[in-house]
A = this chain, B = another copy of it.
């Protein structure tokens, strides 16, 4: 297994497009399966189009489905942080992508996006793992 940890500073961003970094990692591999995994309890990975407004739509929809002004049982952090802790159940922190000859088999508009509505922790790690086939 070949592995690489990406270190991301999300800053004020709620979504971060990881596609170029993932493509760079895959270029050193052959045929196999790529796991993109976020080892954090308040973030996920989505495969969506970027640059046409869908990042904003996703953030808005998640804020509707997981309202920050709702009362959460989760005890820690600032108001609305309970929502961040439900997010990974809906937007999984794990996605697996086939790779052909060093290139992930993504559709034309598919981008690999870190989703992290938690503004309290801007430092994130994303683990890429490639299993050759």
Chain A residues within CB distance 8 Å of chain B: 1-3, 31-33, 35, 37-41, 44, 46-49, 52-54, 56-58, 60-62, 65-66, 72-76, 82, 85-86, 88-98, 100, 105-110, 115, 127, 129-133
Contacts and interface: CB of A to CB of B under 8 A. Distances in A.
Contact of A47 (B46, B48, B61, B93): B93
Contacts of A100: 3
Contact of A133 (B66, B97, B110, B132): B132
Assembly of this chain: how many copies? 3
A18 to B, nearest CB: 14
B133 A105 contact: no
A33 B90 contact: no
B82 A39 contact: no
A82 B37 CA distance: 26
Contacts of A130: 133
Contacts of A44: 89
A94 B95 contact: yes
A62 B89 CA distance: 10
Contact of A54 (B39, B82, B93, B132): B82
